Structure 1
């Protein structure tokens, strides 16, 4: 694994504008020659330079305080040691994806830890740094990479300007994959005491009439300070199907900011089950753009946080053509002094007649100091649609606990059972058995 190391370093406690400039210099200095992509990088660099570092004074960032980032001098990581790679290799692989997975460490592909033997030869799965030079793939990559709507957001542009490698998945026309593809991203401070920035990148292209299941996971090794700035672009051609599961379970010393941009052509189906359990601050922009008629989108989310964690989900569903449908259910379980945020928008322009869309955010507060801010939104210009949205914020109901106690269950077990039932409505949407079972155990551990 080859990785360039930046000579630029950030000064802690910098002014926000200076900090953003330094951060941009840090990540662009580490771009490998094989992925220079000068036009793409220059455009992204200009987009970052035009913007300011986000602050709570901006409405979109009102509840996501990034001042903790300003106190850390992030650098691009050095290559991991053999012992670190051995530690990752010792982590058991999921049986469904043992031979259909890509592993990245600090945003850089590790061939020795990856396996693609279960995938058909026609399917392209691998490292962008390796595959970009192939003449038959290059036009498709250039037509899709960093071309999704929303690419000008500041951290998305920062990723485009300085990502070092990317996961590339291309499923050809009419190919239906029977095994899921897993992307595993590890954040690892190297050396251990140095705060590091990693910029995972994913490009998925599902051709017409194809289907796949994608498992995207984020984990940490060690407790050092890390900043994960991830971007995933998913393109669905006509009648394609993508079932996407996204798990973020990084260390509580990590800042995790991510963008998932999904573009759907006519008759396509996209589902996403997003689980946020880790990180000190986790902010996920999930944006889906329906660009064709009769498009179907299903979004499910669960944020289960405690301590001083912040989980912020920013969601956009854009239905731009007739006969589209969308359904979203996002749940938050908030304990201790944690803070959950949900801001979801469904946009239905005049052209999107005969659409059906629903959005619901349900929140469960487990302490008097926990907090949730929720803002479901509908922006409808079309006049022949069926749309609904709502939000609930509640605590564990005393009468429900009493009812369970009357059936011989003690108060503590009753509380656990209610929390478990609240969370499992989302976890049960996951189509991969081993992941669903491990998340069930993770929810039980989280409640203990």
Structure 2
């Protein structure tokens, strides 16, 4: 991968798809072609770009620019430890490619879920209306690349007034070295629907590779979605992700994002409250150490009246790691009676760890209730002293306080088996980094 993107391979790929009309649609080829055109006019961002000034992704240029290939021979027993007890609805992608044998849908009568290519013939109209329409790629080279390589993808459609009792688990597993995979997710919640979606990125090896993902979510009136996103990739990997959410009248979106892995990770979340009385709650936790860099950029855009949004983002940075948070809330002139709050809380566990946080409010309406704040600090010495007075060692006291700081976000995950996995991961990391 280089600063300037060579599109010759992408153009050959597009021609191969065009030669197989039974496997694609004209609108999809047109979407890919538009993405390739956008890639050809863009370069990889650098620290000279304002939105990337704290995040240096130049190490990506040292990896070979080679897309991952299908054909993994994984068996269920190889990845069973990643399955969730409550999630009988499961779509598994290996290096970005769909695996039918590892996937399962427990509620096929109530839920439309599957790989993009399998649903093109039966859901063409709704796919064309939403795929590639929520995450713009004209000024986003990573979204453009993902769209140019668009072939497989997780599609979840929840029909009108349908409540899916069990979570839908989208599991993306990395197995190949020095490749780039392009995961894609699309969630459509029709009027009055309810669903819990888990977007989970994991690895079976600890080599360098790139994951470049795009997720698009559209909720119709009175639809509810809980979106849990977990990034636990290789410590040598690079994770670049874009997610866009569109909320209609009185819809409700709850998001919890957990970032544990990757050498460099960047997650951009754009939530648009496009109609009255829409609500969103966005929580995030980045737990990093060594020389990891975790960057989270969010934008909550209130376009209509009576909207509500609440956001809490936490970072725990140890060793020489670097956490970045940029959270923007926009309240447009028509969005009167908006209620919005944002909090960025950051914990530094070493003198060499670094956090750059930038909460932002842009308010263009006068009848609103909005607040934001940010804190960066170390563990409270009085709290450590209190725990030591109760018989804990200083290391145990520090570990307990660090665990409690992160567990506040994880405790909100409604899927108990996933919550227990992540609580254990936080506990393991705090115990392995005594201060």
Identify the TM-score tier after normalising by the shorter chain: over 0.9
CA shift at 1:74, angstroms? 2.6
Q: Contact 1:20–1:52 (CA<8 Å) still a contact in 2?
A: no
Instruction: Give the alignment of 1:32-431 within 5 angstroms.
Output: 33=20, 34-35=23-24, 37-82=28-73, 84-85=74-75, 88-91=78-81, 93-97=83-87, 99-116=88-105, 118-134=106-122, 137-152=123-138, 153-189=140-176, 194-431=177-414
CA distance in 2, matches of 1:346, 1:394: 24
CA distance in 2, matches of 1:299, 1:77: 32
CA shift at 1:39, angstroms? 1.1
Q: Contact 2:326–2:358 (CA<8 Å) still a contact in 1?
A: yes
CA distance in 2, matches of 1:274, 1:29: 37
Q: Contact 2:196–2:225 (CA<8 Å) still a contact in 1?
A: yes
CA shift at 1:164, angstroms? 2.6
SS of 2:104 mapped into structure 1:
coil
- More displaced, 230-239 or 161-170? 161-170
Q: Contact 1:56–1:65 (CA<8 Å) still a contact in 2?
A: yes
CA distance in 2, matches of 1:412, 1:133: 59
CA shift at 1:75, angstroms? 1.1
SS of 1:48 mapped into structure 2:
helix
Question: Normalising by structure 2, what TM-score?
Answer: 0.94
Q: Contact 2:251–2:279 (CA<8 Å) still a contact in 1?
A: yes
CA distance in 2, matches of 1:323, 1:212: 24
Q: Contact 2:169–2:199 (CA<8 Å) still a contact in 1?
A: yes
CA shift at 1:86, angstroms? 5.6
Q: Contact 2:17–2:29 (CA<8 Å) still a contact in 1?
A: no
**TM-superposition CA deviations, 1:8-49 (whole Å, max 9, x none):** xx6xxx4x11x4547856975886942462211111122222
Question: Normalising by structure 1, what TM-score?
Answer: 0.91
Q: Is 1:442 aligned to 2:434, yes or no?
A: no
**TM-superposition CA deviations, 1:246-277 (whole Å, max 9, x none):** 00000011110001110000100000000000
SS of 1:163 mapped into structure 2:
coil
SS of 1:112 mapped into structure 2:
strand
CA distance in 2, matches of 1:209, 1:133: 25
CA shift at 1:94, angstroms? 1.3
Match of 1:7 in 2: none
- The answer for unaligned runs of 5 or more in structure 1 is 1-9
CA shift at 1:157, angstroms? 1.5
- The answer for unaligned runs of 5 or more in structure 2 is none
CA distance in 2, matches of 1:202, 1:368: 39
Q: Contact 1:188–1:226 (CA<8 Å) still a contact in 2?
A: no
**Cα–Cα, structure 1 residues 362 and 25, in superposed 2: closer, same or farther, change >3 Å?**
farther
CA shift at 1:95, angstroms? 1.1
Q: Contact 1:257–1:282 (CA<8 Å) still a contact in 2?
A: yes
Q: Contact 2:232–2:260 (CA<8 Å) still a contact in 1?
A: yes
Q: Contact 1:27–1:76 (CA<8 Å) still a contact in 2?
A: no
SS of 2:86 mapped into structure 1:
helix
CA shift at 1:64, angstroms? 1.4
CA distance in 2, matches of 1:230, 1:38: 19
**What is the total number of aligned residue pairs between the two structures?**
425
**Cα–Cα, structure 1 residues 43 and 309, in superposed 2: closer, same or farther, change >3 Å?**
same
